[in-house]
């Protein structure tokens, strides 16, 4: 039966089977190089001639064996310079078979950890990366080599260099790479960009990962790593996003589905058509949700509580809007929050329609909050969180005052907020600019007027009512003018008579 090779989309027929020649010459060349080191180049030359025959004869299997044998002889001789030269030479040869190159590169990748020193290792990695550049069939090996190079640069303290090397990889386009390995490399890119404080690049890279990937219980470790990086990215810019990240990892991990459950889901997925892909995704989510949670150790349970506490605190620190209000309502329904009653009470206070006295709040919760890492005075983030908490308390009280008062004296408002009048005006202006409340201040009279935000339909109804009143007034005025004209004309006729 004829043997055929699919090379670059073309069908190439294998002319001659060189397996017997390889069986004879490869062991002979290895033995020659091993017994007499001076015959190293002679052994290599023997294999190079055999490589040319197998390459021109399109014998992919034999060609792969020859290329691997050349690398093995160089490794056994400890001649790393020759290995670099021959790898570069063999890859660039005319009509070189892609499968053979792939086998050789895979063999060489296993030699990286066997290099005698750091300089040799870097030179060898650089050689392999240069010969694999732009070749799709060895993209996985190039990605792994790049990861090793980035680790070396990071160990040397060159964070920018390590990040630049990793950012060259467009891992999301690698079709032959396993999805988990893709996510691991993308997370490594995010980590290095965060270390060099390139937040914009980190945000762009983070969008390459779909969070649906983490619905699989087997990927829980990557889920924790991803959200840890996202928390570091967003905690100074968006408290609401940070709270959402903590809430995502506050749930206990699910058990990995059994083999029987996976097989059953595969059988069900066969029945789904392409247009029913959404239904298939829903079925997979239901399968993951139906799995029982993993039993946690005391340390893991403590970590889960701490994440839930952080989710509560960051939701409280987020500026008020509909999304923040929904987030707090959602958190309040979590049963595990009952195990930390102090933080549940904090959440209840910010959800209630009551004024919060700062001194009372500080007396009741100040000690507990001071023990939390979020509110440490010796860190920049801690000082920012303390200032934001004070602002949220004052803003909450102003919203409550706006709910119960249509107008209030500025002095009375400063008493309720325990702030000087000038500071009250600053907070009122801030909330008015963010469209949280509608307020006007009569400064000469020192009176604050609150109005409710009207919906678009109410505004339109009021406008229509005003237009109707205006038109009725115009009609009445026209009627009176016509009446006066008629009376005047009658009087002038009577005078003439």
C-beta of residue 69 within 8 angstroms of C-beta of residue 26: yes
Q: Do the beta carbons of residue 402 and residue 450 sit within 8 Å?
A: yes
Q: What is the pLDDT of residues 433-444, one digit of tens each?
A: 888 888 888 888
**pLDDT, tens only, 221-273:** 999 999 999 999 998 889 999 999 999 988 877 666 554 555 555 555 544 44
**CB neighbour list of residue 438: distance below 8 Å, 6 or more residues apart:** 432, 450, 451, 452, 453
Is residue 449 classed as helix, strand or coil in its secondary structure? strand
The more confidently predicted of residues 453 and 387 is 387
Q: How confident is the model at residue 11 (pLDDT cuts 50, 70, 90)?
A: very low
CA distances from 45 to 54, 105, 231 (A): 14, 20, 58
Domains of the chain with CATH codes: 353-449 (1.10.10.10)
HEC secondary structure over 257-276 = CCHHHHHHHHHHHHHCCHHH
Please give the mean pLDDT across all residues of the chain. Answer: 85
Which residue, 297, 292, 233, 288, is CA-closest to 265?
Answer: 288
pLDDT tens digit sequence for 180-205: 999 999 999 999 999 998 999 999 99
The continuous run of DSSP H or E covering 236 comes out as: none
pLDDT at 391 over 50: yes
């Amino acid at each position: 039966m004829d043997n055929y090779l699919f090379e670059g989309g073309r069908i190439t027929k294998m002319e001659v089977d060189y397996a017997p020649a390889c069986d004879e010459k490869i062991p002979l060349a290895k033995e020659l190089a091993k017994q007499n080191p001076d015959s190293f180049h002679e052994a290599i030359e023997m294999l190079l001639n055999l490589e040319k025959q197998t390459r021109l004869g399109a014998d992919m299997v034999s060609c792969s064996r020859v290329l691997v044998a050349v690398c093995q002889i160089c490794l056994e001789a400890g001649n790393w310079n020759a290995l670099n030269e021959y790898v570069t030479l063999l890859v660039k040869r005319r009509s070189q078979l892609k499968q053979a190159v792939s086998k050789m590169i895979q063999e060489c990748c296993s030699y990286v950890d066997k290099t005698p020193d750091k300089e040799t290792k870097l030179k060898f990695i650089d050689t392999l990366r240069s010969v694999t550049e732009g070749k799709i069939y060895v993209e996985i090996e190039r990605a792994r080599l790049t990861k090793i190079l980035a680790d070396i640069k990071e160990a040397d303290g060159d964070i920018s260099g390590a990040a630049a090397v990793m950012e060259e990889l467009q891992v999301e386009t690698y079709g032959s790479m396993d999805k988990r390995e893709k996510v691991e490399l993308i997370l490594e890119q995010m980590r290095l960009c965060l270390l060099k404080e390139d937040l914009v690049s980190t945000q762009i890279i983070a969008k390459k990962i779909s969070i649906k990937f983490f619905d699989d219980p087997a990927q829980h470790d990557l889920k924790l790593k991803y959200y840890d990086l996202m928390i570091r990215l967003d905690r100074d810019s968006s408290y609401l996003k940070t709270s959402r990240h903590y809430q995502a990892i506050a749930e206990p991990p699910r058990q990995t589905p059994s083999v029987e459950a996976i097989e059953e889901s595969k059988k069900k997925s066969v029945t789904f058509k392409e247009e029913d892909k959404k239904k298939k995704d829903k079925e997979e989510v239901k399968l993951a949700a139906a799995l029982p949670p993993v039993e946690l150790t005391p340390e893991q349970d403590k970590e889960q509580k701490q994440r839930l506490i952080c989710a509560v605190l960051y939701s409280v620190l987020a500026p008020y809007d509909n999304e923040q209000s929904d987030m707090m309502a959602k958190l309040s329904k979590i049963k595990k929050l009952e195990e930390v009653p102090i933080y549940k009470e904090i959440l209840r206070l910010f959800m209630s329609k009551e004024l919060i006295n700062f001194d009372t709040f500080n007396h009741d919760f100040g000690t507990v909050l001071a023990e939390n890492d979020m509110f440490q005075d010796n860190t920049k983030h801690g000082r920012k969180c303390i200032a934001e908490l004070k602002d949220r308390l004052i803003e909450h009280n102003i919203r409550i005052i706006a709910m119960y008062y249509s107008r209030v004296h500025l002095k009375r408002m400063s008493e309720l907020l325990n702030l000087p009048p000038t500071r009250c005006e600053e907070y009122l202006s801030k909330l008015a600019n963010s469209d949280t409340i509608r307020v006007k201040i009569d400064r000469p009279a020192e009176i604050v007027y609150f109005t409710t935000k009207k919906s678009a339909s109410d505004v339109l109804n009021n406008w229509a009512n005003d237009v109707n009143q205006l038109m009725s007034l115009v009609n009445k005025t026209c009627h009176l003018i016509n009446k006066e004209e008629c009376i005047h004309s009658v009087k002038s006729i009577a005078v003439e008579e």
